[in-house]
Every structure is written in C-alpha cells, then in structure tokens.
Chains A and B, each alone.
Chain A
Amino acid sequence: MEITISEVLKGCTPGRMQSAGYMQMVPLISEPDMIDKRFGPFTGLLSSTSDYGTLRLENRENHPTIFPMGTGILTKSHAQNHALGKIKLMTPMSEASIDTAACIQETQGGTINSGTHTMTILPYSIREKALEIKDEKGYSKLWPAIKEFNKDVGIENSDRFRSMGHLEHYLDDFGDKLDEFIGQFEIVPNQVGAIILLNGQVAGIERSPNYEFWKELWKPLIRECYGSASLVFAKQGVKPSPPLGRMPINDRNVKDIDSLEVEYNKAELFEEDTVKNLIRNFISQPFVATREENEPNGTLCVDHLSGNQFTGQIVRDSSFVVYASLIPDKNARFNTAANFSI
C-alpha cells in the first residue's frame, strides 16, 4: 500500500517558521475540526520491565493513547532504563508486553517496577538506529549506538562507566544546554506537529493527534531528541548554516520607519513562501506502508513507512493519519530541501 506525505499531513497547515541556532521548526497547525480528541496523554501509561529487553505497558484509562516512536523510560530506582524503537498503540484499558525493547543503561541491573515513569525520546541518532532494528530482540542492541553518541557529544572517558551504553549521562550532563535549546522554540496555538530542519536540512516530520498530546511530546521530542543533534553539531565545530529562507532585510531602500516596515514585510513574505515551497517539494513523496498493528475490533492501526527519502511510523484511523514520526532514510540522510523556486 502506498501513502504520500500529503496524506500524512492532511488536516494541517504550516505555521510561521521559527529558527534559532542549528534548528528551524515549521509548526503544523491543525484545523479545528480535524483535531482527534479521543487520544489521551501517553505520560499516564504505566510501564515496567519483566525481563531485560521486555517492556510492559498498561493503559488504565478509557481513552486510547500512543507510546511515541523511540521513547525511553527513565527511573531513579536501581533498575535498568529501557526504550522502544517503534510506536505502540495502546487502546483503552489495555496491556502490552513488548520483547523487542532495548536497555539504555548498560551496567545497571534490576527490573523496573510498574508505575508512571519519566519518559524521554531517544537522541536523534539513537532513535534512528532504534527504528532500524525495531524488531530485533536483544536488550543490548542499542549500546553501540549510545556509546557512539556519547563519544560524539564529548562525554568523558575518564570513568569507564561513562563511556559505556548509558544514556542518562547525556541527560545529566547537558541538562542546562538542552533547557537553553528548547527555550528558543515555542508551541503556537493549535499546533499538533512540526517539520524540523537541522542545519538547513529536513530532519523530521512529527504529527500528533491533538494539541494536548503535542504539548506533552514537545519537551522530550524537541529538547532531548532534536536537541541532541544540535549538541553534536556544536561539538564537531559545525557552524550554524544560515536558516533556510532567512532573508536579510534589504536596507538599501530604507529611509524612514515606513520604508523599513515595507522591507520587513517583504522579508517576512519571502520566508513564508520558502516554507510553502519546502513542503510542496516533498509533499508528493510516496511511501510503502507495511501494517504493524491493528486495533482489535477497531479502526486504528500502526503502519511502518519506507520511502526513497524518509522512513518512519504512523498511526491512522482508516485513512486519516493521527500520529506520524518520519525521519530521513539513512541513505538519503538530511534530505535537502533544494529545488524550491522563488
């Protein structure tokens, strides 16, 4: 079965691009009648591990929810933090046991007791790897990716445990920088998703069922997932490229405040057009959708999408997409948004 990004984003309109540092975000705003209010918060899910590599989820609410793609469970108790590469659809009053989870705390023993735990979205490169090997069994499967990531962001090797497959060091060591990173971006009213660009290239398309869900997803997704890529760029000494579509105000014609306003409006219009062109550029990209999960006695389902430039997962209700997480395919990594016309 085929699906296009146009269908994934149906019901959304692009908002005004926000840009700061290495990242740009185009908010996706939902049309009021397209908001799916059935879905409740995912942070209320009870989670636990019954064995290394097996994550149990429980939804005790009367509404469905979605365990987002690449979500990690963090606990302060003596238990091994775990994460899941794929989406898990949780229908009302349901339980699930997933044996393809991965440990993200290499040398910590112990299983997680059932409860509502802090959730994170894996750093960008680890999330990408986790999606790639989502169906593989093996609790240690993400340790190499975590080690690589820790090295990339410069987590010291002085303590041998710090150079191992421990994700918590990243969250502990870079808390302030990540706070500063997320502080630069803001949720706009009725926002349900975003197109994320990193250093001028499309790095992700995210969509959620409703504003409340997006508000909940915002911090772990932007701060901990996309914020990680910003840290890697900084560590590598990559200079932030000029934001896509950022046009300096033409000051040649400015003589007074009125003419300044005219030139300001021109620059703003150009930036809006760039956003539209950017989306237009990949809106017809086709994906092959493979069914992963069906709601028992219902119309919801989870599909895995693979295409020429993007890969990811969606949740849909019949043909209408309510949740999506798409990232560039590794082979077409950081898909440039070239070819737009002015």
Chain B
Amino acid sequence: MVNLPVRIEEKFLSMDLRTLGKDIETTMSLFGTDMNRATHYNTKEELAAMSEKEHRNMFSLDRTIYGCIACLPGTTDISKMKVVTNLLGIKWNPGSDFQVSTPVLTMDQERMIIDHLVSTLPPNRMINLFASFEDNRVNNARMRKTVLPFILNSTNFGWWAIKYRKKLKTVLSHCWGKRMSSVIEAILGKEARTNKEDNIIHTSVSKYLVGADTIKYDSVIESLCFIFSVDFNFTNPLFVNFHAAKTDFSKAKGLPKEIIEGIRAAYHPTIDKAETLKVAKSSMTSKEKRLVQNQAQKAGVEVKWNPYSQPLVELLIYGFKMGFTNEIHKAIEEKAYKAAQLLPFNYEKVGIICDDSFSMSGSEDQKLKALAITYATVEMLKHLGNSTSITTVSKRRQSYSNKPAGETNLAKPLISLLKHDLDAIFVVSDGYENAPEGRFGEVLKIARDKAGVDIPVYHFNPVGAAESKVALKRLSNDVPLTPVTNPEKMGLSLFKTMIAADPKQGLIELFNIVLPNIEKTKQLYARQNPNTITR
C-alpha cells in the first residue's frame, strides 16, 4: 500500500463517483484498444475523432487520473503516446476551462507519470513520439526536459543513431530549434571551441547527461556527429563499420538487421539475401531472433535467443510449434508470476476453469492464438491464490501439449470447483458454451439462490485480433467479463471490471498499483546534471 494522494477524498466528495467511474471505464476501454487503425466498423478518421474526444474528456476531469490510467498494464502504445502528447502539450493550469478542478496528484508526480509512460515505450515508438512533437506543436521546456534526457542518456544512443538516424535528427532539431541546431552542428565539426561554444554544448547537451563522465560525453558527441553527418574521426565500431560495410559487406556484422539489408541492397546487390541473416544474427533483437527461428533452422544457422525477453503468449505459440524445453517452461513460469503481481487480486484459494475445447484452436490466420492466450492467462491467475485448483473443460490434466478438442461444457467443472471451499473462481474461455448453451449461468444462479454460494466468479475471454470483429460472448450477465488480448497487460481490463463494481475502491487500487511504479521510474531518470562536462 502507498500513501494515497491528499486530494483524493476531496475528489471523491466533489464528483459524482458513478459518473467518474463510467468515464474512467470508457477511457480504459479506449486505452486498451486504440491502435490507430481502421476497424471493420469505423474508418481510421472516425476512430481518431472519437479517441480525441475521450482523451479530452478524461483530461479535463483530472489530468493526473488520466495519466495514471495510461500507466496501467494493457494500455496500447498509441494511447500512451497520445497521453504524453497531451500532458506535455497542455499547460498545467487548474481552474481553466479545460481543467475544471485541481488534479489529485502534484505537477511533480505528473512529470513522473510522463517519464514512466515514455520509459515503457519500445525505442521505435518513443522516437516516433518525440518526432511527432514537431507536427503536434509541442514545444516547451517540459518537453525538452523529457526528450533530451531520454535520448542522450540512453546506453543505446549509438545504436539508435544508426537505426533511427533521420528521425533523431528531426527530434533534436525540434528540441534545439532549427537555428540552434545549425549552430550545434557547426560546433560539433570544430576541433577547438570557444568558451561560448562550450556553453552552448553544455546548455543543449551535457546539462541533460546524468552521472556523465568524459567517456559518456565523448560517446554522445560522437553519436550526434553521426546523426548530423558531421565529419568526425569515429571510434565507435558501429559508426566505423557502417561506413566500412559499404565496401566490405563482412564489416556489416553487428549493425541493425534492416541497416545490413539496406547496405546489401544498395552496395552489394550480388550478395545473396540469406547472407543478411548470417551477418545480422549477432545484432538481432530478441523478437527478431524468435521470428527467424524457423528460417534459421532451415538455413542451418543457429540463432540464439532469450525466452525471458519474449511476451508470454508468444512463448507459448513458439512452444506449440517448436516444442517446450525446460528453459521455456521456466521462462513462462517466471514471467507469469511477475505479471500476476500487477493484478489487483489476492486470494487464499482460487479455482480456475480452463477451456481447452475445439473452438480454442483459433482462426485460420491466428492458429492456436486463443489457446496460447488462455494458457498464459491461467498461468498468471494461478498465482493469485496461495493454493489453486485447475480443471479443464476436456477433463484432461492441464498441459501445453493438449490440442484443443471436444465440446464446451463449463457447468460440470463449475460444480466440481464449487465443492471446494474457494475464495474466487476464474473461467478462462471463449464463452461459446454448447453443452448446452446457458447451462453455466443456470448452474451458477441455482448455486447462488439455493445453495448459498457467494463466491465471486470472473470470466476471462481470450481475444485474438481476427476475432475482435465478433462480439465477445458472455457466460452470464452475473459474471463480469474481462477481454484478454495480452494476459501480461490485462491490468487495464481488470481495473475496468473493478471500477464498474466500485468506483471509489477501484480508484484507490489504481493509485496503489500506479504510484509505486512511477516512483521507481523517478529513481531511474533523474533530470539535470549541474556539472559542466567538456573536452
């Protein structure tokens, strides 16, 4: 538990909690699904307009609650990017038309929220976000104090300089201004600098370096020279190899995969494309390594990858295709445990019904995705109780090697779980009950009305992208439904369920989960360095 914000009671008194709860629910739905893409029902433009309206509404109710919601696991990267843009782009001005009341959290806490959101974005999204500030006219000191430390302090700055060269140039030029960027570019090319020039570099660069020494400073300056195409005597092997690979392809080793492919296509078109894989294997990201396993196996190339850096669902899909090694089992177990710690439940004894019926095979284009989401969810949920009973719909012992089979009878496993003295029951199923339809709800109702059962029952429905067009199937109106796309990030969906049931408690739990996390980010990203570092 954390110290709740002092203004929270004030907030509860000043607002209609049901309305606030409804608004938060709507916002959570949006944050969990916004992918900035057209859907079956709406064009991209229609969705963007709806999204903009919801963002504005929640922002005006309380910009810090708005930020906290975005910190929940399950918020899409697109939503995080929009929240950061709004928080940085709109002045802290309580009492204005657009910010009706004083926010629950302080301005400093909001800055931590921004840092937290940025830190959870993958590098490509983070750089895209920063690059979008120019078009979105986000141009203020708070923006610079966010962007420059993140970029310049990254241990991957050199790597990003190679991979995202043009975008980083846009980002830095926007932060410094066009004129100042030209000035900095000119200074970077100079062998000797005046005091004034040193000051310019300090104000624009070294001021933002945290715990920097001369080695770090030199490395940042070298990366900046690469980004701005300044003539420089490069020592960083990445930059040296980038130039050398244009004449000798073997030197491309260690560069990003797409850069290697670009160099091959532009400077060495006669070299076979498969050669890229061999040269790139040491520098691929974990995701890239996982995705090329099949291809690598065929080509006889061993590409080692780290299962711990993969999403749970992807690990299971990989296991279905390539088999489950002890290492993968262990990674699944550890990742599920870690992700479960972010869920707002903690029980003594829980029961889980795992649907492994035929319909969990998934659609043609997403084979076994539903089953992978189901197993991943079960793995997480079993950590929510000190003891857990798991029962499967197919009556088989739960195992990853079980292929989906048979009808969906959820009522029978429910009766068998109700015999145990449980604190909660979780049903992980697509909800397509057919033996017969509606029997689960019928049994639960009788158990509640006649047998005095008052155990909470929650339904988790795995949603693959392909099925998202089809309405989610509920088991019963009395059973809260939580859609799950990515189990590791289902915090958002679960909070939605909680907020709907009890807005006040839900909001308290929101702060309980979010505030410790943003505090951790604060420790990682201190802001300014008062010491001047020059060469």
Q: Which of A's residues lie within 8 Å of B, judged by CB? A: 15-21, 27, 176, 179-180, 183-189, 243, 246, 248-249, 251, 254-261, 263-264, 271
Contacts and interface: CB of A to CB of B under 8 A. Distances in A.
B405 A188 contact: yes
A27 B436 CA distance: 13
A263 B525 CA distance: 62
B442 A248 contact: yes
Interface stretch (B180-188, B207-215, B324-332, B408-416): B408-416
Interface string B399-427: 00000011111011001001100000000
B443 A264 contact: yes
Given A16-B435, A264-B443, 16 more contacts: A18-B407, A19-B435, A19-B436, A20-B432, A21-B437, A188-B358, A189-B405, A189-B406, A255-B451, A257-B415, A257-B453, A258-B419, A260-B415, A260-B418, A264-B412, A264-B415
B418 A257 contact: yes
Nearest to B394: A189
B238 to A, nearest CB: 47
A176 B437 contact: no
A180 to B, nearest CB: 5
28 contacts: A16-B407, A17-B435, A18-B407, A18-B434, A18-B436, A19-B434, A20-B433, A20-B436, A21-B437, A179-B470, A183-B432, A183-B470, A184-B432, A184-B434, A184-B437, A189-B406, A249-B442, A251-B446, A251-B449, A255-B450, A255-B451, A257-B447, A260-B446, A260-B450, A260-B451, A261-B415, A263-B446, A264-B411
A274 B411 CA distance: 20
Contacts of B470: 176, 179-180, 183
Contacts of B409: 16
Given A19-B436, A176-B40, A264-B411, A183 B406 contact: no
Contacts of A20: 432-434, 436-437
Interface in B454-494: 467, 469-471, 473
Given A18-B407, A184-B437, A254 B432 contact: no
B404 to A, nearest CB: 8
Contacts, number: 96
Contact of B469 (A176, A186, A243, A259): A176
B contacts with A: majority SS: loop
A20 B408 CA distance: 11
B430 interface: yes
B357 interface: yes
B357 A249 contact: no
A186 B407 contact: yes
B295 to A, nearest CB: 26
Contacts of B433: 20
A176 B470 CA distance: 6
A183 B430 contact: yes
A17 B260 CA distance: 58
Given A255-B451, A257-B418, A257-B451, A18 B435 contact: yes
B349 to A, nearest CB: 15
Contact of B419 (A17, A251, A257, A263): A257
A184 B451 CA distance: 30
A149 B469 CA distance: 25
A271 B436 CA distance: 9
B206 interface: no
B359 interface: yes
Contacts of B452: 256
Given A176-B470, A179-B470, A257-B419, A188 B451 contact: no
Contacts of A189: 405-406
Contacts of B406: 186, 188-189
A180 B472 CA distance: 10
A15 B409 CA distance: 13
A179 B430 CA distance: 13
Nearest to A182: B359
Nearest to B404: A186
B358 A243 contact: no
Contacts of A248: 442
Contacts of A17: 435-436
A255 B453 CA distance: 11
A254 B450 contact: yes
Contacts of B415: 257, 260-261, 264
Nearest to B358: A186
Contacts of A254: 446, 450-451
A183 B469 CA distance: 13
Of B419, B435, B469, B473, most buried by chain A (CB within 10 Å of CB) is: B435
B408 A186 contact: yes
Nearest to A189: B405
Contacts of B453: 257
Contacts of A176: 40, 469-470
Contacts of B442: 248-249
Nearest 4 A/B pairs, CB to CB:
A186-B358, A18-B434, A20-B437, A254-B450
A245 to B, nearest CB: 9
B418 to A, nearest CB: 5
Contacts of B357: 186
Given A20-B432, A176-B470, A254-B446, A186 B437 contact: no
Nearest to A250: B446
